[in-house]
Each structure stands twice: as C-alpha cells, then as structure tokens.
Structure 1
C-alpha cells in the first residue's frame, strides 16, 4: 500500500474540506487498483504537485492521480493532442479515477538552467511546438470572457483590457495554460518535456504571462524586453502577447489580493501591469 505524502494530504484537506479528506483516505486503494489494471509495480516513493499524486512505476513511467475536480478533467485530452510533441507521452488513462499513466521524465526541471535567456528560449520553443489544433471538447478561453468581465466589473478592474483581447481574431490551438520552469522536465526522448497542462483551447499568446510572471523573471527589470524575447522564440505576435499578458496580470492582481498573496508579489504584479502599458 502506498504512503500518501503528509504535506500533500494536508494541503488537499485544507483546500477541499471533507471531500478532500474522503479522497485522501481512498487514494491508496485507487492507486493499488490502477497498478493492477495496468500491470505495474511501484518504483519509488510517491511525490506530488498541487492537485495530484505522482507515483513512479516499472517499467519506466509514472501514475498521476488528480483530485476529482472539473478543473482537472482536460489534462489527458491535451496530452493526447500533443502525442509526445514537446510534452510527456500519455500512455494510458482512467478518466473515472482522474488518473493517467505518463512517460517518466525529470527529476531536473527547467529551473536547473541558470541562463535566463536560454531558459526563456526553451519555453518559447516549447510553446511553438505545443500549439497544435485543439480537439473538440477542450474548454475554450473565449467562453470565459463573460465570467472574466463580471469579475472585473465587480472588482472595479478596467474592462478595456478584456475588450483589447476580445477584439483579436481568436485562435483554436491547444494552450498549456501554466507554462513555467517547474512544469518543464528534462527528458531523454527530447531535451525538455512539458507536464501539468491546464488543457484549454485558444491563443498560444495566453502563456506569455506565465513566463514573465514566473519565479525566474517576476522580479527582473524590463518585462517588455523579456516578452519580446519569448515571443521571438515562440513565433507569437508581440502585441497579441502584450494584450493577453496585461489581461492576465490584472486577473493575477485581483485573484492575488483575494487569495492573500504576499505584499511583494502584489507589488511585482502591479509593476508588470505598469510596464505592459495601457490596453
């Protein structure tokens, strides 16, 4: 029987309440059933991200089981669309258990690359490769516009930054949604492989904000220069990326204040908003 990491269990219960407690209690049995279903054996202790348990297995792969939440439904479809192109391969899936069998990569992440320009260039190249046609059924970013507008109006945020994105011609590619150092692992089949996509359909320019707002660059000077550098590597129009990043920066500031982000992070996000300029 696997051991669920204590910190992971506590975080899930704190965030999800009794539903989280019940899921954590059931997790060892879920993993055991998946090991039998896929004829696998554990190959080390379980690790975790923010929403899922990850167990290395033999032969070389990992089982990922995520908390059963609507936001965790679409990862397998993103991996299936990529077919290993710039991302770990999806080997099997059990949607009822919110579980996937994935190609093993790592343990090194892109954070191990000290050279900022090289790392941002890698993120850009991955973004270019991940921008494949979206399959039917992936949630579309444009369908979120009414919700975002309501949030902005309620909080007194400028709706014009949303209008500036809404007036763009809308794309329909697979968007990672959370592309930053920790979600890129060193691979053997390819040098770098993306993990943990949100799984949505839309404009690849959406991911530019995560790059400049991630730990590597959030306190760096001249975010517009880094935006340009990333866009060049990703093959993304700089103005599209600027508009999406401005929208997402305002969202981050709004959600961060509600979520109790530390003051330094709030100030850094406000600085990015100032640098990106008006809508």
Structure 2
C-alpha cells in the first residue's frame, strides 16, 4: 500500500477541491463541538490547532490524493501489480492518506498479541517508512482526521436524533489518534 502513494500523488489538476479549504471548514466545526461531547476535549483542541495550521500551510494542497486508500480499495491488476479504486480525489497533501489504513481491518488490530496501540503504531510507521512520508506531518493529519471522523459520528442527520451519542467507532477514533502520538 505504501508503495502506491508515490504512483498516485502526481500534481493535482486545478479543478479539484483543495484539502486546505476542507480542513479549514472542519476545524471550525470541531471548534464548535460542545465541551461535554463524548470525546476528550484536549484532543479536540489539539485537532483544531493542527487543522488551522495545516489549512494555511502551502504544502496542504497541490498533489492528487485518493483520500480513501485502504485494503479494500486496492486490487491486483494486469497493467500494474496493484490498482487503487474508488478514489475521492482532492488537491492535497500525501500525508493525509495514512489514516484509512489505520481504521480498516480493525479486528486484526484488536486481536494483535501486543495490543491495539502497538498494532496501530506498527501500521503507521510501516506506511510512513515505505511511502517515504514525514512522520510528524503524517501524525498531525491522523489526529485531525480521526477527530473529524468522531465529530461526524456525533452529528445527527437532519430529523434524526441518536439515542446514545457514543459507540465503538468513537472509541476507535480516539484510540487511533492517541496511538500515533508519542
């Protein structure tokens, strides 16, 4: 998977939505999350600060990114050994791509002999190393993405109200965000 990143991250066509515009909006939504939301406030504030910094960073835009690259979206192919399918393309930062690899195939991490945290960290470092990504920048994007995923889980669709705003998915988001940090 990490080897595909270099093949996919070519200069983005100008008509694509920019990741900086998305993360700017998401940071604002995260900042408005109620203090009593069932996610650690410290992590919300960290994700808001990181997101705001990334939104104004010139390196946040400019490369074609898949945004949903994970095990189920890669198939063996004939013209290439591996083909990425089902992209949600943006003009963005290749470091944004790591998080889906951490939340997919979760059962394997839960069953890992050394525990979920070590499994997440091993996946994270393997992807970063094979793809030649900057560890700190990839970590920042994972934190932002996981807290945004938690936020979206808490947002009710129009006309629908959840009975319980917490679930295993929120725990997974927080666990991944914590696991990639030292």
Band of TM-score, shorter chain = 0.7 to 0.9
1:183 matched to 2:79? The reply is no
Instruction: Compute the displacement of 1:200 (Å).
Output: 0.7
User: 2:143 maps to what in 1?
Assistant: 246
Cα-to-partner distance string for 1:54-78 (whole Å, 9 max, x where unaligned): xxxxxxxxxxxxxxxxxxxxxxxxx
Distance of aligned partners of 1:165 and 1:201 in 2 relative to their CA distance in 1, 3 Å threshold:
same
Q: TM-score w.r.t. structure 2 length?
A: 0.76
Q: TM-score w.r.t. structure 1 length?
A: 0.51
- Choose 1 or 2 for highest CA Rg: 1
1:146 matched to 2:146? The reply is no
Contact 1:164 1:243 in 2 (8 A): no
User: 2:130 maps to what in 1?
Assistant: 233
Instruction: Compute the displacement of 1:246 (Å).
Output: 0.5
Q: What's the secondary structure of 2:98's corresponding residue?
A: helix
1:135 matched to 2:25? The reply is no
Contact 1:178 1:210 in 2 (8 A): yes
Gapped runs of 5+ residues in structure 2? 35-43, 111-115, 157-161
1:165 matched to 2:54? The reply is yes
Question: Which residue among 86, 102, 108 is the counterpart of 1:212?
Answer: 102
Pairs aligned (count):
156
Q: Which has the higher strand share?
A: 1
User: 1:256 maps to what in 2?
Assistant: 153
Distance of aligned partners of 1:136 and 1:164 in 2 relative to their CA distance in 1, 3 Å threshold:
closer
1:277 matched to 2:181? The reply is yes
Instruction: Compute the displacement of 1:169 (Å).
Output: 4.1
Contact 2:70 2:104 in 1 (8 A): yes
- In 2, the alpha carbon distance for the partners of 1:275 and 1:169 equals 27
Gapped runs of 5+ residues in structure 1? 1-122
Residues 26-105 of structure 1: pairs in structure 2 closer than 5 A: none
Distance of aligned partners of 1:254 and 1:218 in 2 relative to their CA distance in 1, 3 Å threshold:
farther
